[in-house]
Structure 1
Amino acid sequence: MQIKDLSRTTGVDVETIRFYEKQSLLPAPARRENGYRVYEAVHLERLAFIRHCRALDMPLLDVKRLLGFVDASEENLGEVDVLVDQQLVRVRARLKSMRALEKQLLQLRARCSGTHDGHCGILDELVSAAHGEACACHSR
């Protein structure tokens, strides 16, 4: 199949596929006489693997390491656990940050009475914060 077909089948942008090739995440495809790349089932499977890892928000460096385990059937598969554990730490940190952000937004939202009679409590808070003053969402 051609790159456009691989892209359509997997939902991965053509430029992203080329990038993955340059990063050695995808093996270089064979080429026809006219120079067009020819992708096969192995490319489709590998791209699906990469896409799944990326959906889990794994960094490309980790994806590359995981592909190394798949390719070489390395003995030290405990490193796979370490990679996933590290990803869990990153995800938990982001969740904590997102909960704090939610709390700040809720505090900001509480400044709005909903009447908007020429005055907006949310905007007042944001303007105050821009002037370096204390605001509802960031305690001083």
Structure 2
Amino acid sequence: MLLTIGDAAKVSGLSAKMIRHYEQSGLLRKTSRTDAGYRLYNSEQINQLRFIRQARNLGFSLQDIQSLLALWHNPERESRAVKQLAEQHLAEIAEKIAELQHMQQVLTTLADSCRGDGSPQCHILQQLARPQ
């Protein structure tokens, strides 16, 4: 069964624009086209689009998704390579969480230091303007 890009978008959960982007970036191989130029997607490509959507939802980069796709299609793969990619991504997420928590702490301290009244004095602005 072949699906048009609109139908492929519906069943994969991606927009047609993102499907075209993934095709142009090489994550998805070029599709066959009708005589009128409409893209047609087969079930393998639909599964690949779903895979890409899931990986993007987990925050994997396009480069990581390319690696994951290559591993997925390689029956000789070693699971350690997949796990290594996942653990590397987990470490990046942990680092981002730590950065966000630090930002939260600093902003909480700044917000607590501001009276928030009708006065023009604001400790938040003073701290932001302070040279580091």
Same fold, TM-score > 0.5, yes or no: yes
TM-score, normalising length: structure 1: 0.80
In the alignment, structure 1 segments of 5+ residues that lack a partner are 133-139
CA contact (8 A) 2:114 2:124 kept: yes
Give the letter aligned to residue 39 of structure 2: R
| CA deviation map 1:21-41 (0-9, x unaligned) | 123321322211111111232
Partners of 1:25 and 1:43 in 2: CA distance: 10
The alpha-carbon deviation at position 57 of structure 1 amounts to 0.9
The percentage of aligned residue pairs carrying the same residue is 28
RMSD of the alignment, in Å? Answer: 2.0
Q: Per chain length, whose mean CA-contact separation is higher, i.e. which structure has more relative contact order (CA < 8 Å, sep 6+)?
A: 2
Q: What's the counterpart of residue 101 of structure 1?
A: 103
Q: List structure 1 runs of 4+ shifted beyond 6 angstroms.
A: none
Determine whether 1:77 maps to 2:91: no
1:25-104 mapped onto 2 (5 Å cutoff): 25-104=27-106
Partners of 1:20 and 1:26 in 2: CA distance: 6
CA contact (8 A) 2:13 2:53 kept: no
The alpha-carbon deviation at position 76 of structure 1 amounts to 2.1
CA contact (8 A) 2:33 2:40 kept: yes
Task: Summarize the Cα distance change of 1:39–1:17 in structure 2 as closer, same or farther, 3 Å threshold.
Answer: same
TM-score, normalising length: structure 2: 0.84
